[in-house]
Chains A and B, each alone.
Chain A
Amino acid sequence: MIFAVKPNDEPTTKPTAFLQLSSVTKSYTAEEPPVLQAVTLGIQQGESLAVTGPSGSGKSTLLNLMGALDHPTSGAVLLDGRDLSNMNDDELARFRNREIGFVFQMHHLLPQCTVLENVLIPTLVAAHGKAAHGKGSAEYEARARQLLERVGMTHRLSHRPGALSGGECQRVAVVRALINEPRLLLADEPTGSLDQGSAENLAQLVVELNEEQGVALVVVTHSTELAERMSRQLRLSSGKLQELAT
């Protein structure tokens, strides 16, 4: 499939965006050119967005900046108008815990915990997020079970990651990302380590959850199939972000 590239068609910042990247530049060394150059992007509630681009183009870096796992060299990442760089470590941790859900290429489930326990891991620190959503542990568990049922993992609740397939692990990872009802789900090559069938299932699941849960979704991927499922598609090339026609 050929996407129409709108030249100089930088994604515009819309006033309703809850997360904004404003002229974000990221360099790792002074000698080398920046990985990201003056990237500006806004993410609205519930929208889905795919970021594609060649390896080393800065896709994961962009995702890390959105998820407050990294700091921009210049520019700002704003949450509801508040610059993340002005937040201290505790506030950033709270931000990651309450506002963001991460899905990595590798599922990064804790091998020592069961499926249900893995999903509940983010709730362990929800207390510092003002008892996220005012939920008690029983309510969290109920939500976890409900989500796991939704992704078809009810029969695997007490299994450890070692006993699951790659696709199952990623599904659990998605549920873990959603347990605290984040506003933004960041997925870094979520299907990258899966076979085609599992990848398709997971892509479908993510899209459905995006719609069902009303969570904004940003997916970094090489997969055009997955990218096409998103409402917006962006391409990173030489550190610059361009919106593709969909």
Chain B
Amino acid sequence: MNHYRLSLNSMRFYWRTQAGITLGIVVSTAVLVGALAVGDSVRYSLRQMALARVGRIQFAMAPSGRYFRSKLAENLQGKLGIAVAPILMLRGSATGDAGTARANNVQVIGVDDRFWALSPSASAIRRDNLPLVAVNQRLSTQLALATGDGMLIRLERPSLLPRDSSMATTTNASTALRLDVSAVLNDKQFGRFGLQSSQVPPYSVFVPISLLQRELGMEGKANTLLIGGGEQERISAAQLDRALQTAWKLEDANLQIHALPRTETLELRTDRVFFDPPVAAAALQAAPGATGILTYFVNELRHGEHATPYSLVAAMGEPVVPANLMDDEIIINAWLADDLKASSGDLLDVTFYVDASMRRLEERVASFRVRSVLPMQGDALDLDLMPDFPGISGAVNCRDWDPGIPVDLNRIRPKDEVYWEAYRGTPKAFINLQAGQKLWENRFGNLTAVRYPGKSATQSDAVASRLMSSLAPGQLGMSFRPVRDEALRAGEQSLDFGQLFLGLSFFLILSALLLTNLLFVFGMERRQAEVGTLLAVGFRPRDVRRLFLLEGAALACVGGVVGAWVGLAYTRLMIYLLNSFWRSAVAEASLSYHASAATVIAGGCASVAIGLLSLWITLRKQAMAAPRQLLTRSLASASLVDHTAGHRRARWIAAACGLLAVAVPAFTGQSSGHETAGAFFGAGLLLLVSFLSICDSLLSPTGGAVDSLRVRNNVARLTIGAMAWRNASRRRGRSLATVGLLSCASFLLISVGANRRDPGHDARKRSAGTGGFALIGQSTLPIYEDLNSPGAIEALGLDTDTLQGVSVVPGRIHEGEDASCLNLNRAQVPRLIGIAPALLGDRGSFTFVKTLKPEKRLSPWALLDADGPTNTVPTIGDQSTVVWGLGKSVGDSIRYTDERGNAFQLQIVGIIANSILQGNLLISEDRFSTCFPSESGHRLFLIDTPKQATSTVSHEFSHALEDFGVEITPAARRLSEFSAVENAYLNIFQALGGLGLLLGSVGIGICVMRNVLDRRGELALLRAVGFRTSTICRLIMLEHLSLLALGVISGTLASLIAIYPSLRTSGAEVPYVLLSLTMLAVLLNGCLWTWGATTISVREPMMDALQSE
């Protein structure tokens, strides 16, 4: 005989109870393991998607708005001995031949063999089987495309000079390609390829790079480099950057150097017209004697009555401009002097445009005094001073000009044509460089050329070499991103579905544990005498506890092992549900089942540990009783003896919590909506505790309820109801557990269920998540015009009548990862939106949840324009984006890199309530343009329409701006898409909570059964003294139904307080019917169990029950 033998005997003998306990542990383990394994599955699926997306790519370099030689890939590959693929990746929209279906935001990717070699299964696409034009499955599905079908692609025509520049032209900004699909690619064939983390593959068209280059006039150019390599060929970003530094050439930085024989100088120019500041700085240091030149297109040169339209003015140094030329002095050529009738000492007004925001031009005038007049020969007659202004430099005559700025061709005189024919864009006037830069410096740069002394090819090479070695590619945004690591990290840091499911399954796990405990307690109660005997024969309480814990451990281990297996099946069920009914919860991702051994073991062990802990707590309480009590079975009656202190404490708790429940909302009356919601939820919880304490007090044998029932007007009155209540107070713990379980369940189900929202409700209010906007639009190609201006409306072919009363708040987009709840991955580089803060601030759009303190009387949106520490850009984000998507809060910063490779901090200055802007971070448009000067035009449009005109306006924008790939969505629908995720979580919680409630109700049933069985002798006695069976049934039913009612009513009342603000909030979509049905089901379930237990107990022969007693 030993402890183990004793435990084994006990387990065998009490197998029914032990089976129940084991089953409880099986359920809690299964749910726990299942929840964790769901997390594993989501992580695994995201990892598989990430690997399918990046294939064998380790790094990528995709500078914004820059194009370099495709051959750079070969140079790099030669240096590194690693696979490098150049691609030309552009954004476009696509339509099928039928023209009915459309896909916006399509990746149009020019690729060659080297790209396919980087696909997940490099051998899947053989060279001789290389598709000419391929689409991925998502696009194929969207456009209903099959092999052989035709499609039309419209994509942005690349422009080296950002189209936001006033000098850039926006005509022919896009081009169309008609292509025949020759293959549809699946994930293994790289159909999922993309550089942004998302579980949803992009729409992709793969085109031979040579074809795309030819169509776009970008022969030999690429804009993205992909670096391949398996695990064995790991290379660092620093190695890549170093290799790039030695491999790149002038062309890769869009620079060119050529000799000017006439002036015996070398001139450095850029295809981007203006040098980027880092390039300008490096260029001026590349060789001794370097001089910068800024040539600008001016609208008019005027002297008194005489004016010369549309001319070029150069700001430069010697030899044309003497070093002593003052800032307000100008040198003009003889042709201009003659045209304006001007001479030395005369005043000359120069009128020109400068860039304001949104391509709005501001005309300014600067006055100069003529210093001298240069003859039309020598240094002044320098045709090379004119930069390659798009739309001007290539024109045969002035009337063919098509610059970005408005030009009144009627002002051009025949003599201007003659000048153009003779001297092209030779500047007519010259000022010093500092003066020119003061007037014409813009965000794209302040130099159009740099000249060096020298003329030979050797000198030219030396300048180029020095320039390229002193300029870091990263300064132009040409740096490598570890896309593979980012992709994997995005999946690993994604929303932890394991924890989420643990939270959603909380009530189910709790119910299973409660059930386990309940059975264990009942088992212990049955074995009270055994405990007493053991204590009497010399067992110490801890020996007894150890003995029972040994049993519990064995049961928990069996339950843990079985539960872990069941948990795997449960996981499969959850994955199935997430892939079908709860698809919205995982943003349409297709999940695969995966459970790691570590998770299963950890989940199983955790569950066993939790189970054991709860058993141990129970045991401590049970084995604390004196052996005398245990042996005489007087524990039950002991509970009726003296609880005065507990009763008093319960009353105090009830009163204190009740008062706090009233006080908390009263004190937060003036707070923001979210604080109020929190306060009311807290008040609800306090009220629940108060109600439970009242119940505790009422159930006390010395409590007022029992006494008042017993004695009224000094006359003892015992009714069936009073007896029922007194019975309920006999096992106060059990009764309180019943009430507590039901009230908590009711509270949780109602308060969580009431969070369901209808985003469409009050969507037009500016404080709503729509910001009061009726529509939200996003274009594939940028729109450079201001959609609020009548001129632009007309130019874009929009109907002015339809757009009456319509206003548009435009935004610029810097592509990044979607940080909304629709992206399961943790966004590593969130998408940025540049927006004019005043436009939102003046409207009072959206509701701020939390902000840094704005200046007095200013809208929190003004924080976006506020000055802060250097290298810090204020940003505002949506609550889901900031808190859940990025895991940040107000005051936190996110490291970001601008297009020139400069790191800066995005500081979160405000959080708005869940909105249509979810997934993005907002910064001021001005700062956006500074950080990303190449990101031209607007692609986001928040559209306010008259109420009745919403659909007409939507149709008008969609139709007229079709070529821009504009997709207009009702703002309320966009909000619904986000809410769908939240609502799916609520559905899961309610489903799992319902299961928990079902399990809890089994516990209640067991309680009822136990109560009845404990008293079967008493009940038999009642029958013996003449009680009818129906009366006894009524007695038992009354007792338990009063507990059920107490639980449901107290939980419901407390939850109604908790959700009060939600009920008053617009858009609250409380599922009254569902909740009522749930509560009714809870009550009916309780009734059913009570009735069943009662029926069984009264069926027992009276004499048997009496004798057994």
Chain A residues within CB distance 8 Å of chain B: 64, 67, 69-70, 89-90, 93-98, 100, 102, 104, 106, 108-113, 116-117, 120-126, 128-129, 137, 141, 176-177, 180
Contact = CB atoms under 8 A, between A and B. Distances in A.
B1 interface: yes
Given A108-B533, A111-B13, A137-B1, A124 B541 contact: no
B387 to A, nearest CB: 97
A69 B9 contact: no
B1 A94 contact: no
A141 B2 CA distance: 12
B306 interface: no
Contacts of A100: 538
B619 to A, nearest CB: 16
A74 B541 CA distance: 25
Contacts of A110: 6, 9-10, 530, 533
Given A89-B541, A93-B540, A129-B538, 15 more contacts: A67-B536, A96-B535, A97-B539, A106-B529, A113-B6, A121-B1, A121-B6, A124-B2, A124-B6, A124-B539, A125-B543, A128-B540, A128-B543, A176-B537, A177-B537
Contacts of B541: 89
Contact of B14 (A69, A112, A177): A112
Contacts of B12: 112
B3 interface: yes
A106 B541 CA distance: 22
B9 A108 contact: no
5 contacts: A94-B538, A96-B535, A109-B533, A110-B533, A122-B537
Nearest to B11: A112
Contact of A96 (B1, B2, B538, B628): B538
B856 interface: no
B532 A112 contact: no
B1 A125 contact: no
Given A110-B530, A113-B9, A121 B627 contact: no
A180 B539 CA distance: 13
Contacts of A117: 1, 5-6, 9
**8 closest A-B pairs by CB:** A97-B538, A112-B13, A120-B1, A93-B540, A122-B537, A108-B533, A112-B9, A96-B538
B577 interface: no
Contacts of A125: 537-540, 543
B538 A122 contact: yes
B1084 interface: no
B540 A108 contact: no
B626 A89 contact: no
Contacts of B14: 112
Contacts of B179: none
A70 B540 contact: no
Nearest to B540: A93
A98 B631 contact: no
Contacts of A121: 1, 6, 533-534, 537
B537 to A, nearest CB: 4
Residue from the set A98, A110, A117 with the largest chain B CB neighbour count within 10 Å: A110
A157 B536 CA distance: 23
A137 B536 CA distance: 21
A108 B529 contact: yes
B1108 to A, nearest CB: 14
Contact of B530 (A94, A96, A108): A108
A224 to B, nearest CB: 24
A96 B529 CA distance: 17
Contacts of B543: 93, 124-125, 128
A122 B3 CA distance: 11
Interface string B1-26: 11101100110111000000000000
Contacts of A126: 538
B536 A112 contact: no
A121 B535 CA distance: 11
A124 B530 contact: no
A89 B211 CA distance: 92
A70 B1 contact: no
Given A121-B6, A124-B3, A98 B529 contact: no
B628 A64 contact: yes
B540 A90 contact: yes
Contacts of A111: 13
Given A104-B631, A112-B12, A121-B1, A97 B626 contact: no
A94 B540 CA distance: 8
B536 A96 contact: yes
Contacts of A123: 1
Contact of B537 (A96, A113, A116, A137): A96
B1 to A, nearest CB: 4
Nearest to A127: B543
A82 B539 CA distance: 21
A89 B538 CA distance: 10
B540 A102 contact: no
A79 to B, nearest CB: 14
A108 B631 contact: yes
A69 B540 contact: no
Contacts of B10: 110, 112
Contacts of A116: 1
A176 B530 CA distance: 14
A98 B628 contact: no
A188 B77 CA distance: 97
A89 B13 contact: no
A213 B628 CA distance: 27
A98 B538 CA distance: 8
A116 B10 CA distance: 15
Contacts of A96: 535-538
Nearest to A116: B1
Contacts of B539: 93, 97, 124-125
B261 to A, nearest CB: 109
Interface string B507-550: 00000000000000000000001101111111111010000000
B533 A124 contact: no
A141 to B, nearest CB: 8
B628 A69 contact: yes
Contacts of A106: 529, 631
Contacts of A141: 1
A69 B3 CA distance: 23
A173 to B, nearest CB: 9
B546 to A, nearest CB: 10
Nearest to B627: A69
Nearest to A141: B1
A122 B538 CA distance: 7
Contacts of B6: 110, 112-113, 117, 121, 124
Contacts of A95: 538
Contacts of B13: 111-112
A100 B9 CA distance: 26
Contacts of A93: 535, 538-540, 543
Nearest to A64: B628
B523 to A, nearest CB: 12
Interface in B603-642: 626-628, 631
A108 B3 CA distance: 18
Contacts of B537: 96-97, 102, 121-122, 125, 176-177
Contacts of B626: 69-70
Nearest to B9: A112
Nearest to B534: A121
A84 to B, nearest CB: 14
A69 B1 contact: no
Residue from the set A93, A94, A111 with the largest chain B CB neighbour count within 10 Å: A93
A70 B538 contact: no
Contacts of B5: 117
Contacts of B532: 108
A110 B12 CA distance: 13
Contacts of A124: 1-3, 6, 539, 543
Contacts of A113: 1, 6, 9
A182 to B, nearest CB: 10
A127 to B, nearest CB: 10
Nearest to A89: B540
